[in-house]
Amino acid sequence: MEGSSFFQRLKQGLTKSRESWVQKIAAVVQNRRWDETSIADMEESLIAADVGVKATQELLETLRKRSPGASDPAEEMSRTLQAALVDMLRRSPGPKIAPLSARPWVVIFLGVNGVGKTTTIGKLAAQYRSSGKKVLLVAADTFRAAAIEQLDAWGQRAGVDVIKHRAGADPSAVVYDGIQAAKSRGVDVLLIDTAGRLHTKVHLIEELKKIRRVISREQPDAPHETLLVLDATTGQNGLQQARVFKEATDITGIVLTKLDGTAKGGVIIGIQTELGLPVKYIGIGEEVEDLQPFDPTRFVQALFEN
Amino acid sequence: MFESLTEKLELTFKRLRGQGKITETNIDDAIRDVRLALLEADVHIKVVKNFLDSVKAKATGQEVLQSLTPDQQFLKIVRDELVELLGGEHQDLDLKTAPPVVIMLVGLQGSGKTTTLAKLARHLNKDKKRSPYLVPADVYRPAAIEQLKILGRELDLPVHDSDPEASPVALCRQALSAAQNRLCDVLLIDTAGRLHIDEELMQELTAIKDAVRPHQILFVADAMTGQDAVNQASGFDGKLGLTGIILTKLDGDARGGAALSIREMVGKPILFSGVGEKLDALEPFYPDRLASRILGMGDVLSLIDKVQQNVEEKEAAKLQKAFLKQQFTLEEFQLQLKQIKRMGSLGSLLEMVPGAKKLAAQVDTEKAESELKRVDAIINSMTLGERRNPAILNGSRRRRIAQGSGTTVTDVNRLMKQFMEMKKMMQRVSKLGVKSLFNRMPHPYS
């Protein structure tokens, strides 16, 4: 990823919270122990970032276990927390985006309604396309009005073909056609768009399982990636979403969208620690290049850096 | 997780049983339980603080009512306070102005504006006998205009033929005069999703507002929103002056604590909640019900409402008669099943019953629904005489019924057993009266 713009964008959004954190940390001057009021303030900041009660407690425990040095407690509190956060985010295996080691490389995108699945696919298609890959899109959201047209528009923008049926068609059938087309056309990357579905709707989760079965039947090692798209403004329900989707479909990673607002997306910390699901991409704007690979160190750095 | 608040409070107060008063000391643990529950429900941390302060002030020193245990009384205080914060009574969408009434929906990307707009149009058309004119003013998201056109066709309502190249402000102005020409009395504007910190796009909304003078500017908020709800709501309200809120995606399992944060920031009523993908899945918002949901107490009132809406008077009267005469036959049984089906999926019904949320997750509702279909088929394969007098069902009749309904004799037998149990229960009910049955149901604070 190209550093400067990513940093600037991220930092811009986070400046406010960073400032208040540093101020609070600076307030900690009690000698050998962290001041409990400051820890309470830190707790508030973490919860306000949607980190969640459980993960926040874990972080604060790490802090309590270590007594601060005399020199610069403010600096140290921030450093300790940063390290703890990066550690938390690293704990899950395979945060890296896998190289395209199969052909076609099949990626399926899922998530609840309105998180940005189609937009993410559009951006990713454009990125793969400009790096010289042959890309094919599958419009398996046959439910929502104009979803096919929306993906089609992205396909045209990126100069990429879209496999589609009519609205209301069986999504598994579209996916089947997509895989066949990808094979016969010698496609490098096949990106599958699915309908937004709440994780509580049993029949829709069953439909997802069926789509997966169709994929693995046609190509035994596929799908190579199953990405859950998650809106950064989502609160603690994100954890439940990830849990249910993971149970149903073996998710390999998260795409965290809409990080360009004031939401911090802290729920991913709980998702990584509790479910071992790594974030693979983040979305920080409307442009194609605003979809970026996720880097825990830089993410946390940008959160704390002055 | 959340279902456990009631249990937790019960535990917390168990140690305090026998104390006649809620005091400063015995309340702290309970307050902590509620705090955790509210935070897990995504209520903003500042809002939680204020809320707990006022709960504490209200609860301290209160005499525990004779009929309540301390945990019940405490929960009642919490719930009442929550209802109050959420707006108290249900409020209707105010349409009192010279037509066409301009209503504008705003919100972040993906909150559900377009779907909600179509649902609202349907509601105004069907329930309020208005003739809405739908205006797609989202020229940015690919196919957003097309989406609203498709939904309009489905509803058989006119949709403005928006030019994706035009400016949204010009579009809305055109649409307003088009609506006047068509004698439509409501103009519903679907705006593009945007971040509250996007100056340029917020500017555009202000320009639309100045151009068409909306009577209502409704903020469409995703019930799954976390702590950021506060920023979003105040961002939009600061720029536009919102008049109301619609909460979407409440059919999921998010507890909707964001609603409390939004309500606190904006101070405007929450008017509707979106509860499904279908176009009739828009319900009036009731503060007391969301309060119960946030506290994991189930949504009994919604359930009762649904039952009332869907049980047709005549059928209900017939059932009641059968009830009283203790002549509950398979005919009535089938009638009842039909009413259950009309109320929606079993899963969504179960979720509304206090404490049954966990159950809803465990029960394979799909299977239960197909079971219902089977029962229906079996009863349909019976003669009228058999339905009225199941006692005559001998082996050969049962075989015939099984064949006729594509089931097995075992299925028929099982149904008969269920029916007999049901009948027994009914008789017990009619002896004791319905009221006593309800009294025996566990209720948080009755």
pLDDT of residue A300: 80
Do B40 and B147 reside in the same domain of the chain? no
Query: Mutating which of A236, A264, A286 best tests the B interface, going by the most B Cβ atoms within 10 A?
Result: A236
**In sequence order, which ranges of B168-294 are alpha helices (DSSP H)?**
168-181, 199-212, 229-240, 257-266, 287-294
Read off the pLDDT of residues A246-280 as tens digits, 9 standing for 90 and up: 999 999 999 999 988 888 888 988 898 889 899 99
Count of C-beta atoms within a 10 Å radius of residue A21 = 22
Angle (deg, nearest 10), helices A53-65 and A36-48: 150
pLDDT of residue A291: 95
Residue B128, domain member (yes or no):
yes
Q: What is the pLDDT along chain B (446 residues), one digit of tens a residue?
A: 334 566 666 666 666 555 666 666 677 888 888 898 899 889 999 999 999 998 988 888 776 665 566 777 787 888 889 999 998 888 999 999 999 999 999 999 999 999 999 999 999 999 999 999 999 999 999 999 999 999 999 999 999 999 999 999 999 999 999 999 999 999 999 999 999 999 999 999 999 999 999 999 999 999 999 999 999 999 999 999 999 999 999 988 888 999 999 998 899 999 999 999 899 999 999 898 888 888 766 544 445 455 555 555 556 666 566 655 656 678 777 777 776 666 555 555 555 554 455 555 555 666 667 777 888 889 999 998 888 888 888 999 999 999 999 999 998 998 888 788 777 766 665 555 444 444 444 433 33
Do B374 and B417 reside in the same domain of the chain? yes
Range of A50-64, A286-300, B152-166 with top mean pLDDT: B152-166
- Count: domains in chain B: 3
Query: Which domain covers residue B69, as residue numbers?
Result: 3-85
Query: Mutating which of B50, B195, B198, B236 best tests the A interface, going by the most A Cβ atoms within 10 A?
Result: B195
pLDDT of residue A36: 75
pLDDT of residue B69: 67
Q: In terms of pTM, does the model score above 0.80?
A: no
Question: Which A-chain residues 138-197 have CB contacts (< 8 A) with chain B?
Answer: 143-147, 149-150, 152-154, 157, 167
Residue B272, domain member (yes or no):
yes
In angstroms, rounded to a whole number, what is the distance separating the alpha carbons of residues B106 and B114? 10
pLDDT of residue A217: 95
Inter-residue contact A128 to A182 (CB < 8 Å): no
pLDDT of residue B68: 65
Share of chain A above pLDDT 70, in %: 82
Residue B63, domain member (yes or no):
yes
Do B272 and B157 reside in the same domain of the chain? yes
From the list B109, B144, B148, which residue is nearest A116 (CB)?
B109
In angstroms, rounded to a whole number, what is the distance separating the alpha carbons of residues B259 and B226? 10
Closest A-chain CA to B363: A202
Do B77 and B106 reside in the same domain of the chain? no
Q: For position B45, which CATH number holds?
A: 1.20.120.140
CB contact under 8 Å between A231 and B112, yes or no, is no
DSSP label at A190?
A: E
- Residue by residue, DSSP assigns B104-168 as EEE-STTS-HHHHHHHHHHHHHHTS---EEEEEE--SSTTHHHHHHHHHHHHT--B----TTS-H
Do B152 and B248 reside in the same domain of the chain? yes
Residue B246, domain member (yes or no):
yes
Do B281 and B317 reside in the same domain of the chain? no
Do B366 and B410 reside in the same domain of the chain? yes
Inter-residue contact A188 to A216 (CB < 8 Å): no
Structure tokens at B116: 């909600």
Q: For position B133, which CATH number holds?
A: 3.40.50.300
Residue ending a domain, choose from B285, B320, B352: B285
- Residue by residue, DSSP assigns B326-360 as T---HHHHHHHHHHHHHT--HHHHHHHSTT-HHHH
Cα B138–Cα B143–Cα B147 angle in degrees, nearest 5: 85
Residue ending a domain, choose from B252, B285, B318: B285
Do B105 and B248 reside in the same domain of the chain? yes
| Chain A CB contacts of B147 below 8 Å | 144-147, 149-150
| Chain A CB contacts of B367 below 8 Å | none
CB contact under 8 Å between A234 and B225, yes or no, is yes
Q: For position B362, which CATH number holds?
A: 1.10.260.30
Inter-residue contact B245 to B216 (CB < 8 Å): no
pLDDT of residue B352: 53
**How many angstroms separate the most distant Cα atoms in chain B?**
77
Do B116 and B70 reside in the same domain of the chain? no
Read off the pLDDT of residues A65-93 as tens digits, 9 standing for 90 and up: 776 665 556 667 767 888 888 887 887 66
From the list B196, B224, B235, which residue is nearest A237 (CB)?
B224
Residue B303, domain member (yes or no):
no
Do B118 and B177 reside in the same domain of the chain? yes
Residue B300, domain member (yes or no):
no
Preceding amide of A220 cis, omega within 30: no
Residue B110, domain member (yes or no):
yes
Do B233 and B340 reside in the same domain of the chain? no
Do B119 and B227 reside in the same domain of the chain? yes
pLDDT of residue B435: 42
| Chain A CB contacts of B141 below 8 Å | 150
| Chain B CB contacts of A255 below 8 Å | none
Residues paired with B136 in a beta bridge: B190
Q: What is the SS3 assignment for A110?
A: strand
Residue ending a domain, choose from B270, B285, B300: B285
Question: Which A-chain residues 43-102 have CB contacts (< 8 A) with chain B?
Answer: 44, 47-50, 52-53
Read off the pLDDT of residues A165-208 as tens digits, 9 standing for 90 and up: 999 999 999 999 999 999 999 999 999 999 999 988 888 999 99
Residue B39, domain member (yes or no):
yes
| Chain B CB contacts of A56 below 8 Å | none
DSSP label at B311?
A: S
Spatial neighbors of B292 by CB under 8 A, at least 6 apart, are: B79, B298, B299, B300, B301, B354
